[in-house]
Amino acid sequence: MVVTVIKGENKKKLDINGNKTVKDLLELLDVPSETVVVKKNDFIVIDEEQVQDGDTLEIIQVIYGG
């Protein structure tokens, strides 16, 4: 399946195999899930959300700290 991933100014299409969740995709991209919020097709989703063919995922870095 092919999904579009947007992170900051970068946008790319990824061809991934099998059923994947948002968390699986973040692990493939080496992005810690605790540090981002993910929007799938313009809606904020949880890590367990299934990724479908043709989805657009926007990874938004969360600023945190003291």
Report how far residue 48's alpha carbon sits from residue 66's, in angstroms, rounded to the nearest whole number: 29
Q: Which amino acid is residue 41, in one-letter code?
A: N
pLDDT digits (tens, 9 = 90+) for 18-27: 899 999 999 9
- The CATH number of the structural domain formed by 2-61 is 3.10.20.30
**Which is nearest to 58 in space by CA: 30, 25, 28?**
25
Q: 9 in the Ramachandran plot: left (φ > 0), alpha (ψ -120 to 50) or beta?
A: alpha
Q: Are strands 56-61 and 2-7 parallel, antiparallel or unpaired?
A: parallel
Share of the chain above pLDDT 90, in %: 91
Query: Confidence band (pLDDT; 50, 70, 90) for 65?
Result: low
Per-domain residue ranges for the chain? 2-61
